[in-house]
């Protein structure tokens, strides 16, 4: 991951005026669709950059961790890390002293020395990074603090790991990439959905060619969070504010990350451009009117976020991705998880698969026998199957894999370029929505390295 300057972060060149776009809808729509694709084709035809090995830090016997944000999610990760060989919690930081004390007690109860505690204000993580000898700083803070914590970690020579999304804006994504390259440190977004059992089976089917050439993916984050957003603690203290000020796909990576890995994004492929639109904002207003007291000031809030956002992504290799976001409506949970190829498809919620030549014509098959034949090796571990405390095992895997890669000196399964590309869709979708669903180009955070970076291989111990 050699440091280099980026071309000045172009988002998209100026296009025809909106008045002209509306006047010639069909023609402008065709131009908008073709123009970014043509630019991508020219880029792909350019001479290939020299192949540069993926960044891997020297191996370490143990991983000394400072954890920032030990609320509900962070305290879970602390407990998970304490069960992983070679992981040591050396420091914990939170703005609430009682949460720091609770995390310290958990570490001590697990047989490790009580970690140093930091709780002197919202930027005390900087003091932790300056004072402590750590290998990794991991954070589960509100979204707007993910980048500041990661930058402080890398500035002081430590690897960084963050809960999702890694960043809120495109500029923040560039900050992470540039810091990781300059400091030669890992900066990893801990996207646990990439390690879910069905998503890993999908990766195996895609990489072995059972689905044929990949054409299209459908994914999303569809989760009724109305009660959470109006809660008096945890995410209720900050998440609703994003709905007040922002309109787009605010949480893309759970659904998008696994699809991007199957499509080799940043590894022979990359996102080209996005088109995004949002519908009406109704869910939070209705919930407030029906569940909050008449004098609750939150009933007077107005929300910019449309309840349903639909974002379309095209890759430079020609695949399309449908990405949806809805956290304001009454509905069961879903990430959709559909991957379509020239020979078949796999889909979640409900889980099912159809492969031409294997399945009965026009009949879905259950995934059970495919797990028996194509189970990803990482899911064959009894430890993973038995660890049901974190989303059925994927939370254990996301932590275990990071620690294992650091201890063995391997490239991490996800890197800073993945964190940037997947997270940037949020800010880009906001831009597209604000500009009447105009196509918006996705920056190449790898600066051409995607052309020679090999496909993802999840190495086993």
Instruction: Give the pLDDT of residue 40.
Output: 53
Question: The CATH number of the domain where 104 resides is what?
Answer: 3.40.50.720
- Final residue before a domain boundary, out of 169, 189, 209: 189
CB crowding 420-434: b at 16 or more within 10 Å, else e: bbbbbbbbbbbbbbe
425 and 282 co-located in one domain: yes
Range of lowest pLDDT (32-46, 71-85, 115-129, 213-227): 32-46
**Distances from the Cα of 141 to the Cαs of 72, 235, 315, in angstroms?**
10, 10, 31
Contact 71, 234 (CB under 8 A): yes
Q: Is residue 7 over pLDDT 70?
A: no
Task: Please indicate, yes or no, if residue 307 is contained in any of the structural domains.
Answer: yes
Task: Please indicate, yes or no, if residue 389 is contained in any of the structural domains.
Answer: no
292 and 369 co-located in one domain: yes
303 and 169 co-located in one domain: no
Q: Is residue 16 over pLDDT 70?
A: no
126 and 72 co-located in one domain: yes
Instruction: Give the pLDDT of residue 386.
Output: 72
Residues 418-434 have pLDDT tens digits of 999 999 999 999 999 99
287 and 315 co-located in one domain: yes
List CB contacts of 398: < 8 A, sequence separation 6 or more: 190, 191, 192, 194, 195
Task: Please indicate, yes or no, if residue 52 is contained in any of the structural domains.
Answer: no
Residues 207 and 458: their CA atoms lie apart, in Å, by 12
pLDDT mean across residues, the chain: 90
Instruction: Give the pLDDT of residue 5.
Output: 46
Range of lowest pLDDT (36-45, 245-254, 258-267): 36-45
171 and 229 co-located in one domain: no
Instruction: Give the pLDDT of residue 212.
Output: 98
* Gyration radius of the chain's alpha carbons: 22
358 and 213 co-located in one domain: yes
What the block records as the tokens of 398 is 């996301």
pTM of the model: 0.90
Domain containing residue 84: 63-189
Residues 405-420 have pLDDT tens digits of 999 999 999 999 999 9
Per residue, what are the HEC states of 138-151?
EECCCHHHHHHHHH
- Final residue before a domain boundary, out of 189, 218, 241: 189
**What's the rounded mean pLDDT across residues 32-47?**
45
332 and 199 co-located in one domain: yes
Separation of CA 427 from chain center: 13
115 and 172 co-located in one domain: yes
Task: Please indicate, yes or no, if residue 111 is contained in any of the structural domains.
Answer: yes
Residues 165-205 have pLDDT tens digits of 999 999 999 999 999 999 999 999 999 999 999 999 999 99
What's the structural domain count of the chain? 2
Task: Please indicate, yes or no, if residue 178 is contained in any of the structural domains.
Answer: yes
Residues 278-299 have pLDDT tens digits of 999 999 999 999 999 999 999 9
Separation of CA 78 from chain center: 20
Q: Is residue 302 over pLDDT 60?
A: yes
241 and 321 co-located in one domain: yes
Task: Please indicate, yes or no, if residue 108 is contained in any of the structural domains.
Answer: yes
End-to-end Cα spacing for the chain:
24
Task: Please indicate, yes or no, if residue 5 is contained in any of the structural domains.
Answer: no
Question: The CATH number of the domain where 296 resides is what?
Answer: 3.30.360.10
**What's the rounded mean pLDDT across residues 215-223?**
98
- Final residue before a domain boundary, out of 189, 221, 240: 189
Please give the residue that has the higher pLDDT: either 402 or 386. Answer: 402
Instruction: Give the pLDDT of residue 332.
Output: 98
Instruction: Give the pLDDT of residue 53.
Output: 79
Range of lowest pLDDT (45-49, 238-242, 312-316): 45-49
278 and 422 co-located in one domain: yes
237 and 90 co-located in one domain: no
Task: Please indicate, yes or no, if residue 396 is contained in any of the structural domains.
Answer: no
**Distances from the Cα of 19 to the Cαs of 12, 25, 276, 283, 433, in angstroms?**
18, 10, 19, 32, 16
Residues 66 and 72: their CA atoms lie apart, in Å, by 17
Residues 89-106 have pLDDT tens digits of 999 999 999 999 999 999
**What's the rounded mean pLDDT across residues 139-163?**
98
Contact 415, 186 (CB under 8 A): yes
What the block records as the tokens of 396 is 């254990």
């Amino acid at each position: 991951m050699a440091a280099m300057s980026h071309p000045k972060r172009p988002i998209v060149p100026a296009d025809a005026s909106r008045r002209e776009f509306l006047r010639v809808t069909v023609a402008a729509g065709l131009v908008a669709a073709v123009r970014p694709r043509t630019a991508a084709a020219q880029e792909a035809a350019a001479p290939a950059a020299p192949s540069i090995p993926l960044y891997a830090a020297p191996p370490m016997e143990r991983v000394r961790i400072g954890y920032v944000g030990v609320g509900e999610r962070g305290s879970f990760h602390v407990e998970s890390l304490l069960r992983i060989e070679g992981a040591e919690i050396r420091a914990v930081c939170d703005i609430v002293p009682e949460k720091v004390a609770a995390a310290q007690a958990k570490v001590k109860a697990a047989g490790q020395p009580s970690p140093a505690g930091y709780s002197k204000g919202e930027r005390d993580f900087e003091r932790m990074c300056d004072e402590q000898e750590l290998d990794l700083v991991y954070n589960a803070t509100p979204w707007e603090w993910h980048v500041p914590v990661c930058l402080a970690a890398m500035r002081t020579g430590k690897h960084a790991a963050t809960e999702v999304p890694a960043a809120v804006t495109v500029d923040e994504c560039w900050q992470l990439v540039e810091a990781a390259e300059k400091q030669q440190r890992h900066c990893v977004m801990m996207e646990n959905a990439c390690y879910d059992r069905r998503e890993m089976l999908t990766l195996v089917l895609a990489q072995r060619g059972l689905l044929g050439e990949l054409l299209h993916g459908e994914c999303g984050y569809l989760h009724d969070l109305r009660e959470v957003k109006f809660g008096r603690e945890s995410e209720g203290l900050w998440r609703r504010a994003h709905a007040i000020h922002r309109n787009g796909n605010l949480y893309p990576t759970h659904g998008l990350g696994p699809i991007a890995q199957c499509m080799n994004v940043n590894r022979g492929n990359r996102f080209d451009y996005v088109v995004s639109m949002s519908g009406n904002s109704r869910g939070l207003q209705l919930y407030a009117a029906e569940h909050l007291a008449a004098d609750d000031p939150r009933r007077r809030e107005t929300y910019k976020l449309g309840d349903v956002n639909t974002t379309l992504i095209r890759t430079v290799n020609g695949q399309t991705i449908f990405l949806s976001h809805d956290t304001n409506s009454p509905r069961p949970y879903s990430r959709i998880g559909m991957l379509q190829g020239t020979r078949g498809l796999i889909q979640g919620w409900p889980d099912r698969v159809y492969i031409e030549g294997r399945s009965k014509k026009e009949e879905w098959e259950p995934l059970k026998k495919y797990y028996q034949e194509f189970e990803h090796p990482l899911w064959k571990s009894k430890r993973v199957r038995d660890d049901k405390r974190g989303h059925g095992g994927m939370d254990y895997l996301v932590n275990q894999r990071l620690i294992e890669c650091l201890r063995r000196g391997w490239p991490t399964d996800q890197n800073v370029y993945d964190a940037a590309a997947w997270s940037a869709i949020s800010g880009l979708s906001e831009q597209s929505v604000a500009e009447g669903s105009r196509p918006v180009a996705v920056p190449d955070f790898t600066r051409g390295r995607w052309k020679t970076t090999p496909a993802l291989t999840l190495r086993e111990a």
